[in-house]
């Protein structure tokens, strides 16, 4: 049996620069979690013998290079790209996905925008993905759709191929009825009906599952029996499946020679100071500014810790094309400068702030040397950093401070 994974982004990012094509591993929780699962298929006795991953390659590729990129992705990475222009991505991804769905589903209605044009583009892109899946699917395949960018896709596939086995997993929070109903009626009903096109709809937590089932009852009048919703053509089951990590990979990372080298360098830089670690994508849902304010307050109230502690704040670039994100980046920069200017000295930098992506080896090293993992999102679907931090502590040393509003809690 073959598994067809469908997500907005492939686990491989393709970049075209001056006529040359570069391939690199995509970052982010979805790519990380799914890649670990798909790798495990090779080592376990699953009914699934092979997979194909369908998604956007991460950038606009010129028409003349698409055939080459498509062949390379399919032969080397088991991927089939869905090519989308920058104009389309601006309305679909930066527009509807990240200015409407993302803020609302994370309980930030004040940051939510509503655009009929963006909604039309969202429908259009889901239709494009539907065509890509239909071109690839073979008898006996199982299709697994991922996340909020493709919530209409399951119903579109169901309409075209009623007997197709379809699963959907939702990687971000699903909001309570009182929040979800802030969407226009046509949009919210289409989203619910889209998800119910699946045979199985998965969520990170029991709360998200119950919110979804309550919305289907209150908005489109479909009751459920222990999570099973009887639709016109099939029964859709909603259930809870918390996503995990590759535990062995992180737990054994400290024995990797490259990781050992990184550990030595970090220990040399921080000496005997206590290291508080935070790792986040650039996003207002992560509470980065709130965390920095909390650290500032800690230093004000506990001067005995001056010179003895360091907050290592790693922020991974994300959605830099959205104005609100760049505004937040500037606020973080200013806050970091303020803290170091206010409390720092010639021999002590209280906040080490870095805005860039980290390799696995470097990330495993900072997990290993840190005394405290500070994972305090304002709202998060799951948060794999919390799990990675704990898994990396093979010696049992260290403390995780985890927000109650993270799905991992």
pLDDT in tens, 208-238: 999 999 999 999 999 999 999 999 999 999 9
Identified catalytic residue from 171, 204, 224, 280: 171
Report the candidate in 28, 24, 5 with the shortest Cα–Cα distance to residue 13: 24
Measured at the CA of 203, the angle between CA 107 and CA 171, to 5 degrees, comes to: 65
pLDDT higher than 80, residue 102: yes
pLDDT higher than 80, residue 47: no
Q: What is the pLDDT averaged over residues 386-392?
A: 96
**Helices marked H in 85-240:** 86-91, 102-105, 116-136, 153-160, 177-180, 185-195, 206-220
* Sheet with 399-402: strands ordered across: 351-355, 309-316, 274-281, 372-375, 399-402
Q: For residue range 313-341, what is the model confidence (pLDDT) as tens digits?
A: 999 998 877 788 999 999 999 999 999 99
Confidence of residue 245 (pLDDT cuts 50, 70, 90): confident
Q: Is 301 helix (H, G, I), strand (E, B) or coil?
A: helix
- Look up 206 and say whether it is catalytic: no
Rounded Cα distance, 7 and 53, in Å: 8
Q: What predicted TM-score, i.e. pTM, was given to this entire model?
A: 0.91
Q: What is the pLDDT of residue 42?
A: 61
Q: What is the pLDDT of residue 46?
A: 65
Confidence of residue 201 (pLDDT cuts 50, 70, 90): very high
CB neighbour class for 45 (10 Å; exposed up to 12, middle 13-18, buried from 19):
exposed
pLDDT higher than 60, residue 268: yes
Identified catalytic residue from 141, 147, 280, 380: 380
Mark residue 234 as left, alpha or beta (left: phi above 0; alpha: psi -120 to 50; beta: remaining): beta
Q: What is the pLDDT averaged over residues 241-263?
A: 93
pLDDT higher than 70, residue 28: no
- Look up 234 and say whether it is catalytic: no
pLDDT higher than 70, residue 362: yes
Sequence-distant (6+) residues with CB within 8 A of 405 are 377, 378, 379, 380
Ordered structural domains, the chain, with CATH: 2-240 (3.40.50.2000), 252-402 (3.40.50.2000)
Residue with tokens 């989203």: 191
> At 289, phi and psi to the nearest 5?
-65, -40
Rounded Cα distance, 118 and 407, in Å: 29
Q: What is the pLDDT of residue 29?
A: 64
Q: What is the pLDDT of residue 179?
A: 98
Q: At what angle do helices 360-369 and 384-392 cross, to 10 degrees?
A: 70
Confidence of residue 366 (pLDDT cuts 50, 70, 90): very high
pLDDT higher than 70, residue 176: yes
Residue with tokens 């080397």: 76
234, two tokens: 């099939």
Q: What is the pLDDT averaged over residues 253-263?
A: 95
pLDDT higher than 80, residue 30: no
Q: What is the pLDDT of residue 45?
A: 55
């Amino acid at each position: 049996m073959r598994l067809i994974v469908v997500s907005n982004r492939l686990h491989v990012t393709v970049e075209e620069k001056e006529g040359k094509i570069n391939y690199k591993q995509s970052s982010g929780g979805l790519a990380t979690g799914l890649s670990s699962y798909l790798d495990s298929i090779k080592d376990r006795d699953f009914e699934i013998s092979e997979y194909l991953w369908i998604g956007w390659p991460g950038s606009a590729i010129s028409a003349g290079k698409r055939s080459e990129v498509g062949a390379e992705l399919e032969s080397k990475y088991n991927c089939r790209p869905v090519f989308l222009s920058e104009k389309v991505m601006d309305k679909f991804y930066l527009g509807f996905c990240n200015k409407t769905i993302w803020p609302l589903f994370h309980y930030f209605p004040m940051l939510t925008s509503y655009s009929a044009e963006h909604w039309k583009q969202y429908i259009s892109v889901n239709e494009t993905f539907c065509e890509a899946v239909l071109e690839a699917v073979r008898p006996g395949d199982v299709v697994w759709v991922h996340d909020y960018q493709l919530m209409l896709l399951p119903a579109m596939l169901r309409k075209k191929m009623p007997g197709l086995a379809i699963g959907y997993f939702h990687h971000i929070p699903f909001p309570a009825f009182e929040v979800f109903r802030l969407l226009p009626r046509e949009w919210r009903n289409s989203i619910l009906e889209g998800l119910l096109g699946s045979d199985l709809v998965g969520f990170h937590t029991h709360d998200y599952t119950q919110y979804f089932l309550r919305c289907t009852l209150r908005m489109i009048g479909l009751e459920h029996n222990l999570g099973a919703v009887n639709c016109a053509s099939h029964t859709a089951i909603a259930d809870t499946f918390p996503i995990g990590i590759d535990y062995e990979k992180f737990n054994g990372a400290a024995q990797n020679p490259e990781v050992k080298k990184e550990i030595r360098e970090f220990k040399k830089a921080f000496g005997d100071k206590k290291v508080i670690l935070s790792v986040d994508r650039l996003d207002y849902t992560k509470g980065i500014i709130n965390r920095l304010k909390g650290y500032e307050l800690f230093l004000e109230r506990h001067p005995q810790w001056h010179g003895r502690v360091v907050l290592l704040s790693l922020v991974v670039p994300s959605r830099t094309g959205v104005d609100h994100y760049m505004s937040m980046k500037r606020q973080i920069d200013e806050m970091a400068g303020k803290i170091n200017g206010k409390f720092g000295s010639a021999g002590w930098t209280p906040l080490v702030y870095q805005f860039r992506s980290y390799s696995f080896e470097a990330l495993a090293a900072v997990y290993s040397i840190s005394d405290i993992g500070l994972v305090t999102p304002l709202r998060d679907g799951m948060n794999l950093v919390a799990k990675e931090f704990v898994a990396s502590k093979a010696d049992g040393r260290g403390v995780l401070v985890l927000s109650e509003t993270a799905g991992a809690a």
